[in-house]
Amino acid sequence: MKFAEAIRIVQAKAPAGARPLAVALACGCTAEQLKVFLTAHLKTLFPDRGATVAAGLYGDCLGNLERLRATRAEALAVLLEWPDLDPRLGLRAAGGWGPAELADIVATVEAQATRFEAALTRAAEAMPVALCLPTLPFPPAPLMPGWRLADCELQVRARVYALAAHAVRLPGVRLLNPQRLDQLSPPAERLDVRADLLSGFPYRPPHASTVAELLARLLQDAPPKKGLITDLDDTLWRGLLGEVGADGVSWSLDRHSHAHALYQQLLRSLAETGVLIAVASKNDPARVEEAFRRQDLLLPRDRVFPVEAHWGSKSESVGRILRAWNVGADSVVFVDDSPMELAEVKAAHLALETVFFPTGQDQAVYELLARLRDLFGKASVGAEDGIRLASLRGAAEQRQAAEAASADRDAFLRGTEAELTLSTDKRTTEPRALELVNKTNQFNLNGRHYTEGEWRDYRARPDTFVYRVSYRDRFGPLGTIAVLAGRRERGRICVDTWVLSCRAFSRRIEHRCVALLFEHLQAGEVAFDFQATPRNGPLQEFFAGLLGGPPAGCVCLPKATFVRSCPALYHQVKVVTHG
C-alpha cells in the first residue's frame, strides 16, 4: 500500500453506525506515518469498524507500552526496534561503539528486555497484544567485518528471542513471524537512513506498510477455513489410478513424486487439528478404496470423510460433501490439478475457495503448502478439534437413524441418551466460546462478531453472563456447541449473542438453551437482540416456530409463550458454575 493511498483510506469516513475499533501502537520511532499505515490496514481488514490508532511519545517504546495498556484501547500493537533496547543501537544516538560500550550495550539490552517482558505480561492481562521484533538491520557497531557474526550482536539477538519466547507464551500475545516479513519486505530494503536522521522515522514506506499490515492481521486473527476437499489423481498422489492401479500411483523421492507426500503430510496434520478433509474424485470407487488401503499412504482413510468417488460432476460431489459437513462453502477450500474442474466447481459454489494443485512443479507445490497453512492455521488446538470429525460421522449416523425413526421423533430423541452441560463461569480464558461465536453463521442471533478485546471487555462487565453449552449422546460427544451471552437490564434478560453449532441441529438443543435461560436466570421474559442475516435462516425458523410468524427486530419472548410452544425435551442437564 502506498502512503498516499493509506492517507486516503484513513480520511474516508467509517460507515454509519460502525463500532469503534481503538488500537494502541507502542513504538519508539516517530509514529505518525506508522499510525497512518496501521489505521489504513485496520480499516481495510475491518471495513465495518471505525478504526483509530493512538500512539505514544517519541523515543520511549517501553513507557508507551506501559501508558497505552492503561487506555481503553481494544488491542495493542508493539513494534520493537534495536534503539528501544539501547539507544546506542540506533542511528540518532552517538554514544559510542567501542569495545567497552559494546559490553555495556549487551548489559543494557539484558536489563531493558527484562523490563519489556514485565510490561508485556501486564499488557497481555489487559488486552490482546500483537508484537513485532526488531525489523531493521543491526547497526554496524560490532568490531568485526559485517559478514562475520559478532558475539555482542549474537547476545543481543539471543536476548530478543528469549523475550519473544516469554511473550508468545502469554495468553493474548501474537508474535509477528520474521520469516513472513522477510518474504514480503527484503531486509536490505527496509532502512531509510535519511528519514531516520531527518525525522526519526527509520522505515522506507513499503516496509512500514508491510509491518503495519502484518500487525493488523495479527490483531484481526481471522477465523481459519474449516474444510478441505481434495482431488486424488495428480493431486493427493502422482498418477492416474484408472491407468496405473493402486500400486502404480506414487508419492516418493525415488519416483520423483515426493511433493505429493508433503501434501499428504500436510492434510494429515490439518486433519489432526480438526480440519475436515474430504475427497472429490472422478474415479472407480473400488479402486479408490484399494489405494486408501496402502499402508504407506500418509493420510489415513479414517481421516477422510466423506469420499465422493464416481464419474459424476465434481460440483455435485462438493455439494454433497458440504451437506454432510453442514458447513458453508465460504469455509471450504477445493484443491484440484485440473483448471476445468476448478472452474466447474467454482461456478456451482461461488463462495468456495478453489486452489490449483501444480503437479510436477515442486517449488509451486511448496508454495501451495504455505498457502494452505495460511488458510487453515490456528493459534491453538483444543479438545474440540480432535472430536470434530467423529461428531460429524456421528451426526450422519444420527440423521440416518432419525430418518428411519421419523414416524416417532420423540421416541428417537428419548433414546439418544443426550447429556447437556451448561457452564456459567465467564472468567474462563478458554478460546472455544469466542471461536464458536465468530465462526457460526447459520444459527447465529445477529451475526455479531467480537475481537478478542471486545469479548474480554464484555465478559468483564458485572451485568453480563456468558453460558457455554456442551453436548454428548450415544452417537458421541459434540463438545462445546452453543454460547449464550447477555445481561440483566431493568429486571429482564437481554441476550446479545447466541450461536449453536450446525453439528448440533435437530436435537432440540436450541429449545433447551432457552429453557435453561428461563430456569437458571429465573426470568419471566427474555429479549433476544435478533437481526436477520443472509445466513441465519435456521435461527429465523426456530423463532418463527415459537412465535407463529417470522421474527422482526428484537424478539421478546415471555416464558408462557415459550412453554406453550416448546416440544418435549429429553436431555439430562448438568450445570457447572466453576471451571
Partner 1 sequence: MDNIRERLLGCFATVFPDLSAGEVPRASMSSVATWDSMATINLMMVIEEEFAIQVPPEDLERLVSFESVLSYLQRAEVPAA
Shortest distance (Å) from residue 14 CB to partner 1: 16
**Stretch near partner 1 under the rule CB under 8 A, chosen from 32-40, 427-435, 457-465, 498-506:** 32-40
Instruction: Determine, following the binding rule CB under 8 A, whether residue 3 of this chain makes contact with partner 1.
Output: yes
- Among the listed residues 306, 308, 313, the one whose alpha carbon sits nearest the alpha carbon of residue 346: 313
- C-alpha cell read off for 97: 561503539
Using the minimum distance from each CB to partner 1, give the nearer residue, 205 or 328: 205
Q: What is the 3 state secondary structure string of 224-260?
A: CCCEEEECCECCCEECCHHHHCCCCCECCCCCCCHHH
Q: In the range 4-23, which residues lie near partner 1 by CB under 8 A?
A: 4, 7-8, 11
Number of amino acids touching partner 1 (CB under 8 A): 17
Using the minimum distance from each CB to partner 1, give the nearer residue, 212 or 516: 212
Q: What is the 3 state secondary structure string of 467-532?
A: EEEEEEECCEEEEEEEEEEEEEECCEEEEEEEEECHHHCCCCHHHHHHHHHHHHHCCCEEEECCCC
Instruction: Determine, following the binding rule CB under 8 A, whether residue 92 of this chain makes contact with partner 1.
Output: no
Exactly one of 52, 71, 121, 199 binds partner 1 (CB under 8 A); that residue is 199
- C-alpha cell read off for 299: 493420510
| C-alpha span between 91 and 195 (Å, rounded) | 11
Instruction: Determine, following the binding rule CB under 8 A, whether residue 33 of this chain makes contact with partner 1.
Output: yes
Instruction: Determine, following the binding rule CB under 8 A, whether residue 37 of this chain makes contact with partner 1.
Output: no
- Among the listed residues 465, 502, 508, the one whose alpha carbon sits nearest the alpha carbon of residue 484: 465
Exactly one of 201, 412, 450, 455 binds partner 1 (CB under 8 A); that residue is 201
Shortest distance (Å) from residue 5 CB to partner 1: 9
Cis peptide before 306, with omega less than 30 degrees from 0? yes
Using the minimum distance from each CB to partner 1, give the nearer residue, 33 or 441: 33
Shortest distance (Å) from residue 249 CB to partner 1: 52
Using the minimum distance from each CB to partner 1, give the nearer residue, 200 or 453: 200
Element of type H or E holding 76: strand 75-79
Using the minimum distance from each CB to partner 1, give the nearer residue, 154 or 198: 198
Q: What is the four-CA torsion angle of 281, 308, 321, 273, rounded to 10 degrees?
A: -80
Shortest distance (Å) from residue 294 CB to partner 1: 56
Using the minimum distance from each CB to partner 1, give the nearer residue, 10 or 324: 10
Half-sphere exposure (CA, 13 Å, Cβ side) for 514?
27
Q: What is the per-residue binding string for partner 1 in 169-198, x denoting contact by CB under 8 A?
A: -------------------------xx-xx
Instruction: Determine, following the binding rule CB under 8 A, whether residue 560 of this chain makes contact with partner 1.
Output: no
- C-alpha cell read off for 332: 471450504
Q: What is the per-residue binding string for partner 1 in 205-244, x denoting contact by CB under 8 A?
A: x---------------------------------------
Measured CA to CA in angstroms, residue 51 lies from 1, 38, 78, 399 at distances of: 17, 9, 17, 45
Angle at 457 between CA 451 and CA 458, to 5 degrees: 90
Using the minimum distance from each CB to partner 1, give the nearer residue, 199 or 421: 199
| C-alpha span between 338 and 198 (Å, rounded) | 54
Binding site for partner 1 (CB under 8 A): 2-4, 7-8, 11, 30, 32-33, 36, 194-195, 197-199, 201, 205
